[in-house]
Amino acid sequence: MPASDSPSAPRRRGAYGLRALGSSLTTVTKRAFARRGLTGADIARQWPAIVGRELAAQCRPRQLRFPKAGEAVDGRLTLRVAPGWALEVQHLEPLVLERVNGYFGYRAVSRLVLQQGPLPPLEGGEQETAARRRAAARETPAPLNETLAAKLSTVEDPELRAALEGLGRSLGEKHHRAAKKP
């Protein structure tokens, strides 16, 4: 009986066994990022952690090119910048270069090339959510429903009343939106 057939020998998992998605992500995205010049694909995935969420909401890495083939030093990082933010990002170029090179651990990037254009939403739709929050803060609240106002008038604690009012408004908006849908 061969050693691999013995009951005490460890069994090998088949190539088609269950694996975590994260373990395959680098392999799957490597070619796509390489086509776009992002050979260090982690820079695209880690962009918010590298430059900060506020700046990452306004620009994204598109391409990383190096002057000599085989040498990953003194590269040119092309960023897609939201309209109206190019001047700000240009002003912050030394900071961005410092953070990117700190991420790599050496002088991988020596200059930025900025391209203005629309940006896709951040992963998880954070950019869209932030825009909605800003718009909601600017809006004046609609008058309270009479029933809700009557019930809230009996609540003595002002903080609790404000919290319940906010809850009532949001539930009312959801109910109103659901009623509008065909």
Residue-wise pLDDT tens digits, 24-83: 655 665 555 555 544 556 788 889 999 999 999 999 998 888 888 777 888 999 999 999
Distance in angstroms (rounded) separating the CA atoms of residues 50 and 87 = 20
* Other beta carbons within 10 Å of 57: 19
Please give the pLDDT value at position 182.
Answer: 60
Tokens of 33: 């990022």
Tokens of 76: 């040119």
Contact status, residue 59 vs residue 69, Cβ threshold 8 Å: no
| Three-state secondary-structure class, residue 92 | coil
**Amino acid letter for position 52:** G
Distance in angstroms (rounded) separating the CA atoms of residues 176 and 96 = 45
The residue ranges of every structural domain in the chain are 21-124, 140-180
Higher pLDDT among residues 59 and 166, named by residue: 59
Q: Of 67, 118, 57, which Cα lies nearest the Cα of 88?
A: 57
Contact status, residue 126 vs residue 57, Cβ threshold 8 Å: yes
Looking at CATH, the fold of the domain delimited by 21-124 is given as: Alpha-Beta Plaits (3.30.70)
